Structure 1
Amino acid sequence: MTLEALLSPRLSLCHLAGSSKKKLLLNIAQAISEQYPDLDSDTVFNQLVARERLGSTGIGEGVAIPHCRLPGCEQPIGVLCTTSPAVDFDAIDRQPVDLLFALLVPEDSEQEHLDTLAEIAALFSDSRVREKLREATTSDDLYALAINSAAAA
Structure 2
Amino acid sequence: MEIKTFLNSRRTLCGVEGISKKRTIEILANLIAEDIPSLSADDIFLSFIAREKLGSTGLGQGIAIPHCRISNCIGTVGALIKLDKPIDFEAIDGKPVDLVFALIAPEEADDSHLQTLSALAEKLIESEYTNKLRQSETNEALYLAATSQQDSAVNT
TM-score normalised by structure 1 residue count: 0.96
Aligned to 1:70: 70
Aligned to 1:150: 152
Q: Percent identity?
A: 41
C-alpha contact 2:81 2:100 (8 A) present in aligned 1: yes
Q: Deviations over 1:98-129 (max 9, x none)?
A: 00110000011130211110110111110111
Q: Deviations over 1:40-88 (max 9, x none)?
A: 1000000000000000000000000000011111111000110011010
The Cα of 1:152 is off from its aligned counterpart by 9.7
Matched, 1:22 2:57: no
User: Any gaps of 5 or more consecutive residues in structure 1?
Assistant: none
- Which amino acid letter does the alignment assign opposite residue 52 of structure 1? E
DSSP-derived class of the 1:150 partner: coil
**Match runs of 1:5-44 below 5 Å:** 5-44=5-44
- Which amino acid letter does the alignment assign opposite residue 66 of structure 1? P
Matched, 1:104 2:97: no
C-alpha contact 2:44 2:70 (8 A) present in aligned 1: yes
| Structure 1 vs Structure 2 CA RMSD | 1.3
C-alpha contact 2:2 2:154 (8 A) present in aligned 1: no
Distance 1:95 1:40 in 2: 31
TM-score normalised by structure 2 residue count: 0.94
Distance 1:5 1:42 in 2: 24
The Cα of 1:151 is off from its aligned counterpart by 4.3
Count of aligned positions: 153
Distance 1:152 1:123 in 2: 7
Aligned to 1:92: 92
Distance 1:94-1:16 versus aligned 2 partners, 3 A rule: same
More helix by share: 1
C-alpha contact 2:119 2:154 (8 A) present in aligned 1: no
Structure 1 runs of 4+ with >2 Å offset: none
DSSP-derived class of the 1:103 partner: strand
Q: Deviations over 1:3-60 (max 9, x none)?
A: 1101001111111222000000001111111101111100000000000000000000
**Match runs of 1:41-52 below 5 Å:** 41-52=41-52
C-alpha contact 1:17 1:27 (8 A) present in aligned 2: no
Distance 2:154 2:93 in 1: 27
Aligned to 1:58: 58
